[in-house]
Amino acid sequence: MVFLNVPPSGILKTMKIFKKILKWFLYILALPIIYLIISLILTEITIDRRDTFSISNKFIFLYSNGVHLEIILPKKDIHPKLLEGLIHLENENYLSFGWGDENFYINTPTWNDLTFSNAFHALFLKSSTLMHVTRYKHKQNDWVKIPVNENELKKLNEYISNTFKKDKNGNKIILKNIAYTRTDNFYKAEGSYSCFKTSNTWVNSGFINSGLKSCFWTPFDFGLIKKYK
C-alpha cells in the first residue's frame, strides 16, 4: 500500500481552491433564482391606467401562446402610418404584433425546436430583432379584450410603428419567403432582445407608454393578462 505524503500547506491550498469554486458555483446558481423572485415581485406591482375619465369606445386584444404575448388591433383602428407597408388582405380584420429575437423567431417555430444555443443567444447576446405580424379574419375566443380610448389607441399605434426598422426611404423591411403560415410575416425591428427586454416586456412597455394598466416590469405573459381578467 502506498501512502501519499501531502504537506498540510498543500491540503489547505486545495481546500481554498475548492471553496472558491464552490462559492462561484453557488453565485451562478443563485442568479436565475434571484431573477425569478425579482421578476415575480415586479410583475405583481400594478401601474394603473392614467386616463380614467375619457370614454373607452375602442377595443384592443392581448393574446398569449402560453409564453409569448402579442398585441392585436382591429385593422380599422390601425393608423395608416403603421398599416403602410404591411401585407394584408381586404377580408383580414385583425392584425397581431409581436416582437422578439430574430434567430429565435426563425429557428424556433415551435417549442420542440428549442435548443440551448438559441435560448442562450437570445437571452444573453446582443442580436437583431423582428416584428411578427399575423393576420386574422375573425376575433378568436382566447383573446383578452381591453377597452381603450382614442388617445391610448393613438399612442399604442405610435409605439408599435416606431418598433419597425425602416430602410433609407422610410419603408418597413420585410423578410421575404420567411413565415410560419400563409397569414403571417416577419419584418425587421429596432432594439436587441435580452433577459431584461423580452417579447413580453415589449408588450408591457407599450401599455405603459400608452397609459394603460400594466405591470411595473415583467418578462412573463401571465402578469399583464391577469390584470385584465
pLDDT per residue over 44-70, tens digit each? 999 999 998 899 999 999 999 888 899
Task: Tell me how far apart the alpha carbons of residues 208 and 216 are, in angstroms, rounded to a whole number.
Answer: 8
Cα–Cα dist 104/129, whole Å: 9
> Length of the chain, please?
229
What is the C-alpha separation between 165 and 130, in angstroms, rounded?
9
Q: What is the DSSP string of 100-136?
A: EEHHHHHH-SSGGG--HHHHHHHHHS---EEEEEEEE
Task: List, for residues 115-171, the tens digit of each pLDDT value.
Answer: 555 555 545 556 789 999 999 999 999 999 999 999 999 999 999 999 999 999 999
Per-residue pLDDT, 21: 64
Q: How far is CA 52 from CA 61, 146, 149, in A?
A: 19, 14, 10
Query: pTM of the predicted model, to two decimals?
Result: 0.83
CA distance 189 to 16: 49
